Structure 1
Amino acid sequence: MLSCITLTYKVSGEIIRNHLESHKAWLKENIDLGHFILAGPIENENAGFILSTIVNEDHLQDVLKRDPFVEFDLVGIEVKKLPSIIKNKNFLF
């Protein structure tokens, strides 16, 4: 199972850009740890997306609360669980 995380911006793009480098550093750290598979902005929306390998809700919330976007209340968070029923054989999760 994977966690699909949508971060919806609650503030202006200018404020988001002020915190973007620290947010990217947090993303990279969690990708390097194997917590996240991919992350990026959702095209034509005021939101971003993270695909996470973390399925334990407490662990996921602990990781998410360290995101500068969350720390400074710049985003709303929606998490949906995705069971991998059908997948490409090369996809390891």
Structure 2
Amino acid sequence: MFVVILRFIDKSKASSVSDAHNRWVKKGFDDGVFLVAGPLATADGGVIVAHNIARAQLEDYVAEDPFITEGVVNPEIIEFSPALTSEQLAFLKPAQKPA
């Protein structure tokens, strides 16, 4: 599982690319890769939670974001393993290996 942080490097370009970026985000949900997406509370970028994808594939996927190709944001990908979840999100935990 991954957290993708997109931090603005040239926010002035964001409005001209936002429709294409939003289509890319929708595709991430449609493809079953993105679980959650939204702006940072500080308004200096956004966050995406991704799963069901290998890191190398996610790096390629993120590189296609128009916000990245047009120099609007700089991405940071953080990988983690969900050890504890609410019952609703238990499907996100890695499968337990039999003893």
TM-score (norm. length: structure 2): 0.84
Matches within 5 A, 1:1-93: 2-12=1-11, 14-91=12-89, 92-93=91-92
Gaps of 5+ in 2: 93-99
Give the conservation status (yes or no) of the 8 Å contact 1:55–1:81: no
Q: Which consecutive segments of 4 or more residues in structure 1 shift more than 4 A?
A: none
SS in 1 for 2:87: coil
Sequence identity (%) = 21
CA RMSD of aligned residues (A): 1.2
TM-score (norm. length: structure 1): 0.89
SS in 1 for 2:4: strand
Gaps of 5+ in 1: none
User: Cα 1:54–1:78, aligned 2, differ >3 Å: closer, same or farther?
Assistant: farther
**Larger CA Rg, structure 1 vs 2:** 2
Equivalent-residue separation in structure 2 for 1:30 and 1:45 (angstroms): 22
Larger RCO, structures 1/2 (Cα 8 Å, 6+ apart): 1
